[in-house]
């Protein structure tokens, strides 16, 4: 009797661990910036970052992580493209002073797009959608 309770508990723990492993990859991606961009008042230098987002529904909270440090946190809307994004990419707009602001993050290998600011995207003067 005691052995069967232990077996059930171990099986349940293994199942939960496996489920959380698969679910954990759903809300993660990479961001490879080719140039400096601003997001929510912070400047991100060119380089590779990890992207994680939390939330249910279309409105999520996005964290940009460099190494072990969260360098930016901001709200975004999750949308899906008709086709899978072939690679990690991002969108940005140029301000009159020459600075660029991040407007979207395209998660490579998925259909996921994180939209940062719908107004900036509508008024954009130029955009970048490139990153490897």
Q: Beta strand pairing status for 28-33 and 89-94?
A: unpaired
DSSP code, position 46: S
**pTM surpassing 0.75?**
no
Q: What average pLDDT does this structure show over 48-76?
A: 94
Residue 50 lies in a domain: yes
For residue 27, is pLDDT > 80? Answer: yes
Q: How many CA atoms lie within 13 A of 4 on its CB side?
A: 1
* Any domain includes 14: no
Nearest to 51 by CA among 22, 72, 81, 82: 72
pLDDT band at 21 (very low <50, low <70, confident <90, very high): very low
8 domain residue, yes or no: no
Could you give the number of structural domains in the chain? 1
**What's residue 56's pLDDT?**
78
Which one is predicted more confidently, 126 or 35?
35
Q: Is residue 37, in this structure, part of any structural domain at all?
A: yes
Domain residue limits at 59: 26-122
- Is residue 128 a part of any domain in this protein? no
In a domain, 115, yes or no: yes
Q: Residue 13 domain-assigned?
A: no
Residue 3 lies in a domain: no
Backbone angles phi, psi at 77, to 5 degrees: -115, 135
* Rounded-to-integer distance, Cα 21 and Cα 110, Å: 17
């Amino acid at each position: 009797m005691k052995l069967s309770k232990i077996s059930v508990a171990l099986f349940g723990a293994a199942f939960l661990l496996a489920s959380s492993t698969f679910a954990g990859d759903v809300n993660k991606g990479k961001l490879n910036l080719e140039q400096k961009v601003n997001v929510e008042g912070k400047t991100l230098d060119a380089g590779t970052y990890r992207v994680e987002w939390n939330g249910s529904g279309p409105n999520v909270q996005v964290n940009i992580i460099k190494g072990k440090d969260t360098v930016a946190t901001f709200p975004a809307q999750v949308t899906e493209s008709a086709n899978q994004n072939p690679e990690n990419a991002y969108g940005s707009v140029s301000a009159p002073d020459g600075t660029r602001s991040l407007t979207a993050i395209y998660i490579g290998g998925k259909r996921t797009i994180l939209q940062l600011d719908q107004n900036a995207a509508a008024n954009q003067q130029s955009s970048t959608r490139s990153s490897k």
